[in-house]
Amino acid sequence: MNIITDNAVLAAYIPNVVTSCEGESSLFEKLAPMLKVAELWFCRKVCGIPALVNEDAVHLARSIVACEAFRMAVPSLNVILTANGFGIVSNNTTAPASKERTESLVEALVEQRDNAIEQLVFLLDGTGTQFKHTVFQGFDAQKMQGLTSHLMDKFTEQRSAVFRLQTTLAEEVLSDEVLGQMTSETYYDESERTNGIAHLFQYVPGIIVKQLQGEDCKDDIKRVVNYLRNHPALFPHWADSSAAEHWRDYTYQNDKSKGGYWL
User: Are 122 and 212 contained in the same domain?
Assistant: no
**Are residues 180 and 235 located together in one domain of the fold?**
yes
- Same domain, yes or no, for 139 and 40? no
Q: Which residue has the higher pLDDT, 195 or 258?
A: 195
| pLDDT at site 263 | 46
Please check whether residues 1 and 125 belong to one and the same domain. Answer: yes
Answer whether residue 169 shows pLDDT above 50.
Answer: yes
Q: Of 105, 129, 153, which marks where a domain is finished?
A: 129
Do 38 and 101 share a structural domain? yes
Q: What is the DSSP letter of 171?
A: I
Of 114, 104, 21, which Cα lies nearest the Cα of 64? 114
Asked whether residue 48 falls in the same domain as residue 142, the answer is no
| Residue 259 covered by a domain | no
> Average of pLDDT values for 164-178?
97
Please indicate, yes or no, whether residues 192 and 145 belong to a single structural domain of this protein.
Answer: yes
Task: Report the phi/psi class of residue 253: left, alpha or beta, with left for phi > 0 and alpha for psi in -120 to 50.
Answer: beta
221 and 125 in a common domain: no
Q: Is residue 255 part of a domain?
A: no
Last residue in a domain, options 129, 151, 186: 129
Tell me the H-state helices in the chain: 7-11, 27-45, 55-73, 99-123, 140-143, 151-169, 176-184, 197-200, 204-212, 218-230, 242-245
Query: Does residue 140 form part of some domain?
Result: yes
50 and 139 part of one domain: no
Split at pLDDT 50, 70, 90, the class of 261 is: very low
Please determine, for residue 18, whether its predicted confidence score (pLDDT) is greater than 60.
no
Region 130-147: mean pLDDT is: 96
Q: Are residues 123 and 59 in the same domain?
A: yes
**Domain shared by 150 and 236, yes or no:** yes
Strand, coil or helix: what is 47? strand
The stretch 35-46 carries a mean pLDDT of: 96
The Cα–Cα gap between 90 and 18 comes to 13
Do 61 and 108 belong to one domain?
yes
The residue segments making up the domain with residue 101 are 1-129
- For the cut 90, the answer to whether the pLDDT of residue 83 exceeds it is no
Whether 258 maps to a domain, the answer reads no
- Per the structure, the count of domains in the chain is 2
